[in-house]
Amino acid sequence: MRSPSFALIPMLALLAPCGVWGADSTATDRIAVSASGSTLTGTSGGAGESLGWLHNFDPDALIALGAEHQSISVAHWTLGSLAGALTLGSGDARYTLSAEAHEGAGDNGPRTLHYSIEAAGITGTYFHRLSVLLEDRRIDVDTTHGNLPKIGLSYLWSPHWLTSVSFADSVSGNLGTRLGSVRVDKYGNAVNVFGGLAYGPASPIILNIQGDIVARGHTLREGYLGVSRSFAHTRHEVSLIADYADLSGSKKATLTLNYIFHVQAGR
């Protein structure tokens, strides 16, 4: 399962191998820009754009700040985001503490909507190969609210192949979400490729759909595929992600382009 398409979080996910497996060795600053376009059954679709700043204090500490605007059908909303991660430990057992917050507001046709999502998690990485994730996400968007805890497992088979599985089950509110997912990442010298599938009952908010466009309690079938490329000489990274989701007949297709520029090279 992918979380709602906050602009900073997919970018942090692309950078995750650096934090988990250890790559950059000095402080760096990056500017992140994202643009997306979506189609949705029975509507005129939507679009999104964002701007963010990402800072690595060192290989084990990362913070991100951003602003984002999204629209789908008659709904529009703007929010600010704050995310961070800190890795502790050494050797065969390392633990990454992560947290994020997304706060904003907008409108869903004639009425206003509030937007508030916070999450916190811990990832244990053992023997530089196996990672275990425990996360809880609090969602309070428009008329949808509740907690969505998640457990995930990842295994690095080699420096080039990573597989991940996860399961999320809402335990409060009216989310009505119970999703399983699988993801595969292929790391190359300059190009990374990743893709995944998700299945299960889900709230429309999981797909970043606001309001009553899609009825709750339906089954989600989702697949996505992405590619990212780094350019060492110009110090930037580009990724393109295609996502297709079918929520019991309501189909959403999204294409997202992310651009990350390294403002400061390692010292």
d(Cα 176, Cα 218) in Å, to the nearest integer? 9
Q: What is the pLDDT of residue 109?
A: 82
Q: What is the pLDDT of residue 2?
A: 47
Q: Which residue ranges make up each domain of the chain?
A: 8-264
Q: Nearest Cα to 2, choosing from 211, 186, 226?
A: 226
List, for residues 11-48, the tens digit of each pLDDT value. Answer: 444 444 433 333 445 688 999 999 999 999 988 899 99
Q: What is the pLDDT of residue 214?
A: 52
Q: Region 215-239: what's the mean pLDDT? A: 87
pLDDT of 196 > 70? The answer is yes
CA 136 to chain centre: 14
Range from 3-17, 35-49, 114-128 carrying the lowest mean pLDDT: 3-17
CATH 2.60.40.2550 fits 8-264, yes or no: no
Q: Which amino acid is at 252?
A: K
- What the block records as the tokens of 86 is 């800190």
CB-based burial of residue 249 (10 Å sphere; 0-12 exposed, 13-18 middle, 19+ buried)?
exposed
DSSP code for 206: G
Look-up of token digits 């399961």: 167
- Rounded mean pLDDT of the chain? 87
List, for residues 70-91, the tens digit of each pLDDT value. Answer: 999 889 999 999 999 999 998 8
Asked if 83 contacts 63 with a C-beta cutoff of 8 angstroms, the reply is yes
What global pTM score does this model have? 0.86
pLDDT of 6 > 70? The answer is no
Provide, rounded to the nearest whole percent, the portion of the chain with pLDDT above 70. Answer: 86
Asked if 73 contacts 46 with a C-beta cutoff of 8 angstroms, the reply is yes
CA angle, 185 as apex, 100 and 68 as ends, to 5°?
A: 35
CA angle, 220 as apex, 102 and 147 as ends, to 5°?
A: 40
Per-residue pLDDT band at 140 (split at 50, 70, 90): very high
Please state whether beta strands 250-264 and 178-187 pair in parallel, antiparallel, or not at all (unpaired): unpaired
Asked if 204 contacts 141 with a C-beta cutoff of 8 angstroms, the reply is no
Q: Region 118-122: what's the mean pLDDT? A: 97
Q: What is the pLDDT of residue 267?
A: 46
What's phi and psi for 37, nearest 5 deg?
-135, 145
What's phi and psi for 45, nearest 5 deg?
85, -155
Element (H, E) at 12: helix 8-21
C-alpha to C-alpha distances, 262 to 54, 56, 87, 233, nearest whole angstrom:
9, 11, 22, 11
Q: Region 113-119: what's the mean pLDDT? A: 95
